[in-house]
């Protein structure tokens, strides 16, 4: 029987462990907070990350990394993107050479501009055929409540993606497979930046027209960069692209949308970050994407505007003006 380990006991890590367990895959969660782990294993809850939610029964927990990782066939990584390199490097010697390593993270590493799958390959020595990414409209609370959703499991090796999909599929969680790792992963990271911009718009009191404008042009921006990176165009209109973008930009459950909204309402970036429950990856990812895109010569106006605002160079109310004042042109072509 396939056995899984989840590294990270936050909202998404615990939820993914519940998904695996509901699908019949024995799963152990590794973390460093004894109280959180005891809450999960004893009461089936993670009151700190997702209060009021009851997870699948039977999830095992441990603070012993060797216990969690020994003989694990699937190792899912659910830690903050900017801390993943150090955390995974420490655990890498314990991961089986045959295990599929799954990134649940949605970010671009600061400095290196690497996607999370690239970071995992580098620190573990695993080839691309042993690394997969999960991305899509996956708001943790909704999935933890077993509301129907679909996701994408992407890997350069179709068999690896199918193995992860089979280990997670259930009556409420439907995984689709894909071999376009670059496109799927870029969508998962970039949508957080667009969600910050939409949140600012909401915080300023603008309506649905403005939201639709930022989301639609945001997807165009993501697609333009993705194609320059060699991604497949159909990925961006699917679950990992438009699907995840809609969910993250429209839901108050999105930390990135909520952070942007607080800034739009007048809160400082530091205070908005402090008020966030968990990590809003869009803040650090925006700068990484901007630097990477500029290096490729790709125009990313929404990302540029978000970075300019986060750096304090313009006020939130000026962000949308920066976008709408750009030279007019044909929408397509």
pLDDT tens digits, one per residue of 158-171: 999 999 999 999 99
Q: What is the pLDDT of residue 312?
A: 86
Contact yes or no for 196/282 (Cβ under 8 A): yes
Measured distance CA(30)–CA(95) in Å, rounded: 13
Compute the Cα dihedral for 152, 153, 158, 162 and give only its sign.
negative
- SS3 for the chain, per residue? CCCEEEECCCHHHHHHHHHHHHCCCCEEEECCCHHHHHHHHHHCCECCCECCCCCCCCCEEECCHHHHHCCCCEEEECCCHHHHHHHHHHHHHHCCCCCEEEECCCCECCCCCCEHHHHHHHHHCCCHHHEEEEECCCCHHHHHCCCCEEEEEEECCHHHHHHHHHHHCCCCEEEEEECCHHHHHHHHHHHHHHHHHHHHHHHCCCCHHHHHHHHHHHHHHHHHHHHHCCCCHHHHHCHHHHHHHHHHHHCCCCHHHHHHHHHHCCCCHHHHHHHCCCCCCHHHHHHHHHHHHHHHCCCCHHHHHHHHHHCCCCCHHHHHHHHHCCCCCCCCC
How many of the other CB atoms lie within 10 Å of CB of 230? 9
Are the C-beta atoms of 285 and 193 separated by less than 8 Å?
Answer: yes
| pLDDT-derived band at 184, boundaries 50, 70, 90 | very high
Q: Which two tokens stand for residue 214?
A: 């930022």
Residue 333: pLDDT over 70:
no
Taking the C-alpha atoms of residue 132 and residue 1, their distance in angstroms, rounded to an integer, is 20
Q: Report the topology of domain 182-324.
A: 1.10.1040
Q: Which one from 48, 106, 163, 191 is the annotated catalytic residue?
A: 191
pLDDT tens string 87-123: 999 999 999 999 999 999 999 999 999 999 999 999 9
pTM for this one?
0.94
Confidence band, pLDDT 50/70/90 cuts, at residue 1: confident
Q: If you average pLDDT over residues 133-150, what whole number do you get?
A: 97
CB atoms closer than 10 angstroms to residue 157: 17
4-7 and 74-77 beta bridge pairing: parallel
Active-site residue flag, 191: yes
pLDDT band with cut points at 50, 70 and 90 for residue 318: confident
pLDDT single digits (tens) 241-300:
999 999 999 898 899 999 999 999 999 999 998 887 667 788 889 999 999 999 999 999
Domain extents for the chain? 4-179, 182-324
**CATH code of domain 4-179:** 3.40.50.720
Share of residues in the chain with pLDDT > 70 (%): 97
């Amino acid at each position: 029987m396939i056995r899984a380990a989840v590294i990270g006991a936050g909202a998404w890590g615990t939820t993914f462990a519940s998904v695996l367990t509901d699908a019949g895959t024995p799963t152990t969660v590794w973390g460093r907070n004894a109280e959180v782990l005891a809450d999960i294993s004893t009461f089936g809850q993670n009151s700190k990350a997702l209060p009021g939610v009851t997870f699948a029964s039977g999830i095992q927990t441990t603070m012993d990394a060797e216990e969690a990782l020994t003989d694990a066939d699937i190792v899912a990584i659910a830690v903050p993107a900017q801390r993943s390199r150090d955390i995974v490097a420490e655990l890498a010697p314990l991961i089986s050479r045959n295990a599929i390593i799954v990134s649940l993270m949605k970010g671009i590493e600061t400095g290196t501009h690497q996607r999370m799958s690239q970071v995992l390959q580098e620190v573990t020595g695993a080839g691309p055929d042993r690394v997969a990414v999960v991305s899509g409209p996956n708001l943790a609370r909704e999935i933890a409540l077993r509301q129907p959703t679909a996701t994408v499991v992407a890997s350069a090796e179709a068999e690896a993606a199918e193995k992860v999909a089979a280990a997670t599929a259930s009556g409420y969680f439907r995984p689709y497979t894909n071999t376009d790792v670059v496109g799927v992963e870029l969508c998962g990271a970039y949508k957080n930046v667009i969600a910050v911009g939409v949140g600012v718009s909401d915080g300023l009191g603008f309506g649905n027209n403005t939201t639709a404008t930022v989301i639609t042009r945001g997807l165009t921006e993501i697609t333009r960069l993705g194609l320059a990176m060699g991604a497949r165009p159909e990925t961006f209109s699917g679950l990992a692209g438009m699907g995840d973008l809609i969910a993250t930009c429209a839901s108050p459950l999105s930390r990135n949308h909520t952070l942007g909204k607080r800034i739009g309402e007048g809160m400082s970036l530091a205070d908005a970050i402090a008020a966030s429950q968990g990590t809003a990856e869009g803040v650090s990812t925006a700068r990484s994407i901007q630097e990477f895109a500029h290096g490729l010569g790709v125009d990313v106006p929404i990302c540029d505007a978000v970075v300019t605002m986060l750096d304090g160079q313009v006020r939130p109310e000026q962000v949308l003006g920066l976008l709408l004042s750009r030279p007019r042109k044909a929408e397509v072509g």
